[in-house]
Chain A
Amino acid sequence: MEMQQRKNGRRVVLSQTAYHQIALILEEFLSRSQARLALFADMSGYPVVYRGDADTLDLAALTALAAGDFAATAEMSRLIGQESRFKFLYHEGASRSLYLCAVGTDYFLMVVFDKSVALGIIRVLSHYTVEKIGRYIQELRQGGEQTHQFLDFEFRDMLARQLDRSLRPR
Protein backbone atom coordinates (compact mmCIF):
# COMPACT_ATOMS: atom_id res chain seq x y z
CA MET A 1 0.00 0.00 0.00
CA GLU A 2 2.68 2.41 1.08
CA MET A 3 4.84 1.51 -1.89
CA GLN A 4 1.95 1.96 -4.28
CA GLN A 5 1.16 5.37 -2.89
CA ARG A 6 4.70 6.43 -3.26
CA LYS A 7 4.89 5.33 -6.84
CA ASN A 8 1.74 7.17 -7.76
CA GLY A 9 2.39 10.41 -6.05
CA ARG A 10 5.23 11.20 -3.84
CA ARG A 11 8.37 9.68 -5.12
CA VAL A 12 9.55 11.14 -8.35
CA VAL A 13 12.66 9.63 -9.85
CA LEU A 14 14.12 10.99 -13.03
CA SER A 15 15.72 8.80 -15.65
CA GLN A 16 19.05 9.74 -17.19
CA THR A 17 18.21 9.19 -20.85
CA ALA A 18 15.11 11.32 -20.67
CA TYR A 19 17.10 13.98 -18.87
CA HIS A 20 19.72 14.05 -21.64
CA GLN A 21 17.11 14.15 -24.38
CA ILE A 22 15.31 17.05 -22.79
CA ALA A 23 18.58 18.90 -22.28
CA LEU A 24 19.30 18.54 -26.01
CA ILE A 25 15.83 19.81 -26.90
CA LEU A 26 16.38 22.86 -24.68
CA GLU A 27 19.75 23.54 -26.28
CA GLU A 28 18.18 23.47 -29.70
CA PHE A 29 15.44 25.78 -28.51
CA LEU A 30 17.95 28.29 -27.17
CA SER A 31 20.08 28.38 -30.26
CA ARG A 32 17.06 28.92 -32.50
CA SER A 33 15.22 31.41 -30.32
CA GLN A 34 18.10 33.42 -28.84
CA ALA A 35 16.33 33.31 -25.49
CA ARG A 36 18.43 33.63 -22.34
CA LEU A 37 17.22 30.68 -20.38
CA ALA A 38 15.02 27.67 -20.95
CA LEU A 39 14.04 25.65 -17.93
CA PHE A 40 11.99 22.50 -17.71
CA ALA A 41 10.45 22.04 -14.26
CA ASP A 42 8.00 20.08 -12.21
CA MET A 43 4.64 21.68 -11.35
CA SER A 44 5.44 21.23 -7.68
CA GLY A 45 8.32 23.65 -8.09
CA TYR A 46 11.44 21.56 -8.76
CA PRO A 47 13.75 22.63 -11.56
CA VAL A 48 14.49 19.51 -13.64
CA VAL A 49 16.75 20.62 -16.51
CA TYR A 50 17.78 24.01 -17.75
CA ARG A 51 20.05 25.46 -20.38
CA GLY A 52 21.25 29.03 -20.80
CA ASP A 53 22.38 31.80 -18.58
CA ALA A 54 21.31 31.17 -14.99
CA ASP A 55 24.38 32.44 -13.16
CA THR A 56 22.72 35.47 -11.66
CA LEU A 57 19.33 33.85 -11.10
CA ASP A 58 18.07 32.07 -8.04
CA LEU A 59 16.55 29.11 -9.83
CA ALA A 60 15.07 27.47 -6.74
CA ALA A 61 13.09 30.59 -5.87
CA LEU A 62 12.17 31.34 -9.47
CA THR A 63 10.85 27.84 -10.11
CA ALA A 64 8.82 27.75 -6.89
CA LEU A 65 7.20 31.03 -7.91
CA ALA A 66 6.53 29.90 -11.47
CA ALA A 67 4.82 26.74 -10.21
CA GLY A 68 2.83 28.97 -7.86
CA ASP A 69 1.88 31.13 -10.83
CA PHE A 70 0.37 28.14 -12.64
CA ALA A 71 -1.47 27.07 -9.52
CA ALA A 72 -2.89 30.52 -8.84
CA THR A 73 -3.97 31.12 -12.41
CA ALA A 74 -5.53 27.65 -12.55
CA GLU A 75 -7.87 28.88 -9.83
CA MET A 76 -8.53 32.04 -11.83
CA SER A 77 -9.28 29.91 -14.84
CA ARG A 78 -11.76 27.89 -12.83
CA LEU A 79 -13.39 31.04 -11.47
CA ILE A 80 -14.09 32.34 -14.96
CA GLY A 81 -15.76 29.05 -15.79
CA GLN A 82 -13.06 27.08 -17.56
CA GLU A 83 -12.35 23.48 -16.77
CA SER A 84 -8.63 23.40 -17.35
CA ARG A 85 -5.79 25.70 -16.42
CA PHE A 86 -4.19 28.18 -18.78
CA LYS A 87 -1.75 26.51 -21.15
CA PHE A 88 0.70 29.36 -21.15
CA LEU A 89 1.41 32.48 -19.12
CA TYR A 90 3.24 35.51 -20.33
CA HIS A 91 4.79 38.28 -18.25
CA GLU A 92 6.17 41.19 -20.18
CA GLY A 93 8.87 43.33 -18.67
CA ALA A 94 10.57 46.50 -19.87
CA SER A 95 13.82 44.73 -20.69
CA ARG A 96 13.17 41.05 -20.01
CA SER A 97 10.11 38.83 -20.21
CA LEU A 98 8.95 35.43 -19.04
CA TYR A 99 7.03 32.86 -21.00
CA LEU A 100 5.64 29.84 -19.18
CA CYS A 101 4.14 26.90 -20.98
CA ALA A 102 2.50 23.82 -19.41
CA VAL A 103 3.88 20.45 -20.47
CA GLY A 104 1.14 17.93 -19.76
CA THR A 105 -0.29 18.31 -16.29
CA ASP A 106 2.84 17.82 -14.22
CA TYR A 107 5.58 19.85 -15.86
CA PHE A 108 6.20 23.22 -17.44
CA LEU A 109 8.70 25.07 -19.58
CA MET A 110 9.94 28.50 -18.51
CA VAL A 111 11.66 30.83 -20.96
CA VAL A 112 13.45 34.05 -20.05
CA PHE A 113 14.13 36.31 -23.00
CA ASP A 114 15.31 39.85 -23.77
CA LYS A 115 13.38 42.64 -25.41
CA SER A 116 15.36 42.10 -28.61
CA VAL A 117 13.66 38.73 -29.14
CA ALA A 118 10.18 38.70 -30.65
CA LEU A 119 7.42 37.11 -28.59
CA GLY A 120 6.08 35.41 -31.73
CA ILE A 121 9.30 33.43 -32.10
CA ILE A 122 9.28 32.37 -28.48
CA ARG A 123 5.67 31.36 -28.70
CA VAL A 124 6.06 29.21 -31.80
CA LEU A 125 9.32 27.61 -30.73
CA SER A 126 8.05 26.93 -27.19
CA HIS A 127 5.04 25.08 -28.44
CA TYR A 128 7.20 23.06 -30.78
CA THR A 129 9.59 22.32 -27.90
CA VAL A 130 6.81 21.33 -25.54
CA GLU A 131 5.54 18.87 -28.17
CA LYS A 132 8.97 17.30 -28.40
CA ILE A 133 9.52 17.15 -24.66
CA GLY A 134 6.09 15.58 -24.24
CA ARG A 135 7.41 12.39 -25.83
CA TYR A 136 9.90 11.91 -23.01
CA ILE A 137 7.59 12.55 -20.10
CA GLN A 138 6.59 8.92 -19.75
CA GLU A 139 10.22 7.88 -19.67
CA LEU A 140 11.07 10.55 -17.18
CA ARG A 141 9.39 8.74 -14.35
CA GLN A 142 10.73 5.44 -13.23
CA GLY A 143 9.66 3.15 -10.44
CA GLY A 144 10.45 4.07 -6.88
CA GLU A 145 12.60 0.98 -6.23
CA GLN A 146 15.92 2.71 -6.67
CA THR A 147 15.10 5.20 -3.94
CA HIS A 148 16.71 2.90 -1.43
CA GLN A 149 19.90 2.90 -3.42
CA PHE A 150 20.01 6.64 -3.03
CA LEU A 151 19.00 6.68 0.59
CA ASP A 152 20.96 3.87 2.10
CA PHE A 153 21.61 3.79 5.80
CA GLU A 154 25.06 5.30 5.58
CA PHE A 155 23.76 8.25 3.56
CA ARG A 156 20.99 8.94 6.03
CA ASP A 157 23.38 8.70 8.91
CA MET A 158 25.87 11.12 7.36
CA LEU A 159 23.05 13.46 6.38
CA ALA A 160 21.74 13.49 9.93
CA ARG A 161 25.18 14.43 11.21
CA GLN A 162 25.68 17.13 8.62
CA LEU A 163 22.27 18.60 9.48
CA ASP A 164 23.20 18.61 13.12
CA ARG A 165 26.22 20.75 12.31
CA SER A 166 24.57 23.04 9.74
CA LEU A 167 21.22 23.65 11.39
CA ARG A 168 22.48 26.00 14.07
CA PRO A 169 21.88 29.74 14.27
CA ARG A 170 24.86 31.89 13.37
Chain B
Amino acid sequence: MHIDWFRQEIVFKIVYYGPGLGGKTTNLEYLHAHLDPALRSRLVVLKSPEERTLYFDFFELALGAIKGKKPRFHLYTIPGQLYYASSRKIVLRGVDAIVFVADSQSARRQDNLDSLMDLELKLIEQGKTLAQFPWVLQYNKRDLTEIDSVDEMEQSLNFLRVPHYEAVAVQGLAVFETLRGVIQLLLNKM
Protein backbone atom coordinates (compact mmCIF):
# COMPACT_ATOMS: atom_id res chain seq x y z
CA MET B 1 0.00 0.00 0.00
CA HIS B 2 1.21 3.38 -0.93
CA ILE B 3 -0.20 6.65 0.40
CA ASP B 4 0.53 9.93 -1.29
CA TRP B 5 -0.70 12.73 0.96
CA PHE B 6 0.06 15.41 -1.53
CA ARG B 7 -2.05 13.99 -4.32
CA GLN B 8 -4.36 12.39 -1.78
CA GLU B 9 -4.01 8.97 -3.35
CA ILE B 10 -3.94 5.54 -1.85
CA VAL B 11 -2.70 2.65 -3.97
CA PHE B 12 -3.19 -1.04 -3.27
CA LYS B 13 -1.41 -3.88 -5.02
CA ILE B 14 -3.35 -7.03 -5.83
CA VAL B 15 -1.59 -10.00 -7.41
CA TYR B 16 -3.16 -12.93 -9.28
CA TYR B 17 -1.07 -15.97 -8.40
CA GLY B 18 -1.33 -19.63 -9.38
CA PRO B 19 0.02 -22.43 -11.57
CA GLY B 20 0.86 -21.94 -15.24
CA LEU B 21 -2.12 -21.90 -17.63
CA GLY B 22 -4.57 -21.62 -14.74
CA GLY B 23 -6.26 -18.53 -16.16
CA LYS B 24 -4.67 -15.54 -14.41
CA THR B 25 -4.10 -13.53 -17.57
CA THR B 26 -7.61 -14.44 -18.73
CA ASN B 27 -9.02 -12.93 -15.50
CA LEU B 28 -7.16 -9.67 -16.02
CA GLU B 29 -8.07 -9.46 -19.69
CA TYR B 30 -11.74 -9.98 -18.93
CA LEU B 31 -11.75 -7.37 -16.17
CA HIS B 32 -10.00 -4.88 -18.36
CA ALA B 33 -12.30 -5.45 -21.31
CA HIS B 34 -15.45 -5.07 -19.22
CA LEU B 35 -14.58 -2.23 -16.88
CA ASP B 36 -15.64 1.33 -17.52
CA PRO B 37 -12.74 2.64 -19.66
CA ALA B 38 -12.69 5.84 -17.60
CA LEU B 39 -11.59 3.79 -14.59
CA ARG B 40 -8.65 1.90 -16.00
CA SER B 41 -5.15 2.36 -17.42
CA ARG B 42 -3.81 0.59 -20.47
CA LEU B 43 -3.44 -3.18 -20.06
CA VAL B 44 0.19 -4.23 -20.16
CA VAL B 45 0.65 -7.85 -21.21
CA LEU B 46 4.15 -9.26 -21.40
CA LYS B 47 3.67 -12.55 -23.23
CA SER B 48 5.90 -14.99 -25.01
CA PRO B 49 4.95 -15.97 -28.57
CA GLU B 50 3.15 -18.97 -27.02
CA GLU B 51 0.83 -16.65 -25.06
CA ARG B 52 2.48 -17.48 -21.76
CA THR B 53 3.12 -14.68 -19.29
CA LEU B 54 6.83 -13.90 -19.30
CA TYR B 55 7.01 -11.27 -16.70
CA PHE B 56 3.68 -9.87 -15.57
CA ASP B 57 0.40 -8.40 -16.75
CA PHE B 58 -0.74 -5.13 -15.26
CA PHE B 59 -3.39 -2.49 -15.20
CA GLU B 60 -4.49 0.20 -12.81
CA LEU B 61 -8.05 0.63 -11.62
CA ALA B 62 -8.58 4.24 -10.50
CA LEU B 63 -11.79 5.11 -8.71
CA GLY B 64 -13.31 8.53 -8.25
CA ALA B 65 -12.41 10.56 -5.18
CA ILE B 66 -13.98 9.63 -1.85
CA LYS B 67 -13.94 12.47 0.67
CA GLY B 68 -11.31 14.06 -1.57
CA LYS B 69 -9.13 10.96 -1.57
CA LYS B 70 -8.45 8.86 -4.63
CA PRO B 71 -8.25 5.08 -4.24
CA ARG B 72 -6.34 3.09 -6.85
CA PHE B 73 -5.75 -0.59 -7.31
CA HIS B 74 -2.79 -2.03 -9.17
CA LEU B 75 -3.61 -5.45 -10.55
CA TYR B 76 -0.78 -7.78 -11.52
CA THR B 77 -0.49 -11.39 -12.64
CA ILE B 78 2.63 -13.48 -12.19
CA PRO B 79 4.06 -16.01 -14.68
CA GLY B 80 2.98 -19.43 -13.46
CA GLN B 81 5.67 -21.43 -15.22
CA LEU B 82 8.22 -22.80 -12.76
CA TYR B 83 11.04 -21.34 -14.73
CA TYR B 84 10.15 -17.73 -13.88
CA ALA B 85 10.70 -17.82 -10.12
CA SER B 86 12.55 -14.54 -9.95
CA SER B 87 9.84 -12.61 -11.80
CA ARG B 88 7.30 -13.97 -9.34
CA LYS B 89 9.35 -12.77 -6.43
CA ILE B 90 9.67 -9.30 -7.90
CA VAL B 91 5.99 -8.93 -8.71
CA LEU B 92 5.06 -10.01 -5.19
CA ARG B 93 7.05 -7.19 -3.60
CA GLY B 94 4.76 -5.06 -1.48
CA VAL B 95 1.64 -7.08 -2.32
CA ASP B 96 -1.49 -6.17 -0.32
CA ALA B 97 -3.85 -8.99 -1.33
CA ILE B 98 -3.80 -12.10 -3.52
CA VAL B 99 -6.19 -13.99 -5.77
CA PHE B 100 -4.99 -17.56 -6.10
CA VAL B 101 -6.29 -18.92 -9.40
CA ALA B 102 -6.37 -22.71 -9.20
CA ASP B 103 -6.92 -24.90 -12.26
CA SER B 104 -9.84 -27.24 -11.54
CA GLN B 105 -8.60 -29.98 -13.87
CA SER B 106 -7.77 -33.12 -11.90
CA ALA B 107 -4.49 -33.44 -13.72
CA ARG B 108 -3.40 -30.09 -12.27
CA ARG B 109 -4.07 -30.96 -8.61
CA GLN B 110 -0.41 -31.22 -7.65
CA ASP B 111 0.52 -28.10 -9.64
CA ASN B 112 -2.03 -26.07 -7.69
CA LEU B 113 -0.59 -27.27 -4.42
CA ASP B 114 3.01 -26.68 -5.51
CA SER B 115 2.16 -23.15 -6.57
CA LEU B 116 0.38 -22.42 -3.28
CA MET B 117 3.41 -23.64 -1.32
CA ASP B 118 5.67 -21.55 -3.52
CA LEU B 119 3.51 -18.53 -2.71
CA GLU B 120 3.68 -19.17 1.02
CA LEU B 121 7.48 -19.43 0.90
CA LYS B 122 7.73 -16.15 -0.98
CA LEU B 123 5.39 -14.42 1.47
CA ILE B 124 7.47 -15.69 4.37
CA GLU B 125 10.53 -14.10 2.78
CA GLN B 126 8.64 -10.80 3.05
CA GLY B 127 7.71 -11.43 6.67
CA LYS B 128 4.13 -12.35 5.80
CA THR B 129 2.17 -15.57 5.83
CA LEU B 130 -1.01 -16.82 4.17
CA ALA B 131 -2.64 -17.36 7.56
CA GLN B 132 -2.56 -13.62 8.25
CA PHE B 133 -2.94 -12.24 4.81
CA PRO B 134 -5.97 -11.23 2.73
CA TRP B 135 -6.32 -13.75 -0.08
CA VAL B 136 -9.07 -15.67 -1.86
CA LEU B 137 -9.21 -18.83 -3.94
CA GLN B 138 -10.67 -19.02 -7.41
CA TYR B 139 -11.44 -22.47 -8.75
CA ASN B 140 -11.24 -21.81 -12.45
CA LYS B 141 -12.22 -23.77 -15.55
CA ARG B 142 -15.41 -25.17 -14.01
CA ASP B 143 -16.69 -25.61 -17.59
CA LEU B 144 -14.35 -28.53 -18.30
CA THR B 145 -15.21 -32.18 -17.70
CA GLU B 146 -12.13 -33.81 -16.17
CA ILE B 147 -12.21 -31.69 -13.06
CA ASP B 148 -12.08 -32.14 -9.28
CA SER B 149 -15.24 -31.40 -7.33
CA VAL B 150 -15.33 -28.19 -5.33
CA ASP B 151 -15.25 -30.28 -2.15
CA GLU B 152 -12.08 -32.00 -3.27
CA MET B 153 -10.47 -28.68 -4.10
CA GLU B 154 -11.51 -27.23 -0.76
CA GLN B 155 -9.92 -30.22 0.96
CA SER B 156 -6.72 -29.88 -0.93
CA LEU B 157 -6.20 -26.12 -1.05
CA ASN B 158 -8.44 -24.27 1.34
CA PHE B 159 -6.95 -25.33 4.68
CA LEU B 160 -7.19 -21.72 5.86
CA ARG B 161 -10.89 -21.35 5.02
CA VAL B 162 -10.64 -18.28 2.84
CA PRO B 163 -13.47 -17.20 0.52
CA HIS B 164 -13.59 -19.24 -2.68
CA TYR B 165 -15.17 -18.66 -6.08
CA GLU B 166 -16.14 -21.09 -8.82
CA ALA B 167 -15.17 -19.49 -12.07
CA VAL B 168 -15.09 -19.84 -15.81
CA ALA B 169 -12.70 -17.02 -16.59
CA VAL B 170 -12.93 -17.41 -20.38
CA GLN B 171 -16.64 -16.60 -20.11
CA GLY B 172 -16.17 -14.04 -17.36
CA LEU B 173 -18.05 -16.15 -14.86
CA ALA B 174 -17.23 -15.06 -11.26
CA VAL B 175 -14.34 -12.92 -12.46
CA PHE B 176 -15.75 -9.68 -11.08
CA GLU B 177 -17.05 -11.44 -7.96
CA THR B 178 -13.54 -12.68 -7.22
CA LEU B 179 -12.07 -9.20 -7.45
CA ARG B 180 -14.83 -7.66 -5.36
CA GLY B 181 -14.32 -10.43 -2.80
CA VAL B 182 -10.59 -9.96 -2.43
CA ILE B 183 -10.88 -6.18 -2.16
CA GLN B 184 -13.61 -6.50 0.46
CA LEU B 185 -11.35 -8.80 2.46
CA LEU B 186 -8.46 -6.38 2.11
CA LEU B 187 -10.56 -3.45 3.34
CA ASN B 188 -11.89 -5.48 6.26
CA LYS B 189 -8.41 -6.48 7.35
CA MET B 190 -7.14 -2.93 7.51
Contact = CB atoms under 8 A, between A and B. Distances in A.
A interacts with B: yes
Contacts of A44: 2, 13, 93-94
Nearest to B4: A14
Nearest to A79: B86
A77 B67 CA distance: 45
Interface stretch (A26-34, A92-100, A158-166): A158-166
Which of B13, B60, B62, B183: most chain A CB closer than 10 A?
B60
A119 interface: no
Interface stretch (B36-44, B99-107, B149-157): B36-44
A170 B175 CA distance: 13
A58 B74 CA distance: 13
Given A9-B127, A58-B42, A61-B41, A68 B55 contact: yes
Interface in B54-103: 55-56, 58-60, 62-64, 66-67, 69, 71-72, 74, 76, 86-87, 90, 93-94, 96
Interface in A117-170: 146-147, 150-151, 154-156, 158-160, 162-164, 166-170
A42 to B, nearest CB: 7
A42 B144 CA distance: 42
Contact of A11 (B3, B46, B58): B3
Interface bin, chain B: 35 or more
Contacts, number: 127
Contact of A166 (B39, B42, B86, B96): B39
A89 interface: no
B165 interface: no
Interface bin, chain A: 35 or more
B44 A65 contact: yes
A150 B69 contact: yes
Contacts of B76: 64
B61 to A, nearest CB: 8
Interface of B: 1-6, 10-11, 13, 30, 34-36, 39, 41-44, 46, 55-56, 58-60, 62-64, 66-67, 69, 71-72, 74, 76, 86-87, 90, 93-94, 96, 126-128, 172, 175-176, 179-180, 183-184, 187, 190
